[in-house]
Amino acid sequence: AFSEKGNLIDHQRTHTREKPYQCIQCAKTFSKKSNLKIHQRTHSGDKPYQCCQCAKAFTRKDTLINHERMHTGEKPYQCTKCDKTFSDKSILTKHQRTHTREKPYQCNQCEKVFSQKSNLINHQRTHTGEKPYECSHCDKAFSQKGTLINHQRTHTGEQGVRREILTGSQDLINEELF
């Protein structure tokens, strides 16, 4: 039951996939006006939520809360299969797919399936030939950011392989692998 008619309408849009709110700057559409307003901050650069520990700022309050867990070490989301804990619910959801082997993201060109949306997006570049990651030292371009990072080491002479892990709070964690 919904206490307000607007909440019912918002919920119904999850079924109809209607997205009546459109960003005038990039044409991206949203089912809720509040999500459009949050999105518009990406264009304006407005980041009203600031971490009191490190002063990093965010466009969304929930992203700040997830970030603050990095400082506290809090991991409130636990996998029921293996008891691993996570600071962000979306990371738990991705992790759980390792147990269920669920692959909800399907390529519309070759029907290959993926457990994570980012992997589908990377794969789709094999069909489009898109190479959005350009080397600032030469004229080479790459379809994946990690490939660009490894390539740039040929210019800098840096050793090792670096992996970047995107957390649910949108923070990059760098790991050096030797």
Q: How far is Cα 33 from Cα 5, in angstroms, rounded to an integer?
A: 15
Domain count of the chain? 3
146 and 170 part of one domain:
yes
pLDDT tens-digit map of 26-79: 999 998 898 999 999 999 999 999 999 999 999 999 999 999 999 999 999 999
Q: Which residue, 11, 31, 46, sits at the end of a domain?
A: 46
- H or E segment at 27? none
Beta strands in 17-168 (DSSP E): 21-22, 29-30, 49-50, 57-58, 77-78, 85-86, 105-106, 113-114, 133-134, 141-142, 161-166
pLDDT tens-digit map of 73-116: 999 999 999 999 999 998 999 999 999 999 999 999 998 999 98
Q: How far is Cα 155 from Cα 135, in angstroms, rounded to an integer?
A: 10
**pTM above the 0.75 mark?**
no
pLDDT tens-digit map of 137-146: 999 999 988 8
Q: Is the pLDDT of residue 160 over 60?
A: no
Q: How far is Cα 89 from Cα 83, in angstroms, rounded to an integer?
A: 14
Q: Is the pLDDT of residue 125 over 50?
A: yes
Q: For strands 21-22 and 29-30, give the pairing.
A: antiparallel
35 and 57 part of one domain:
no
> What's the CATH code of the domain at 32?
3.30.160.60
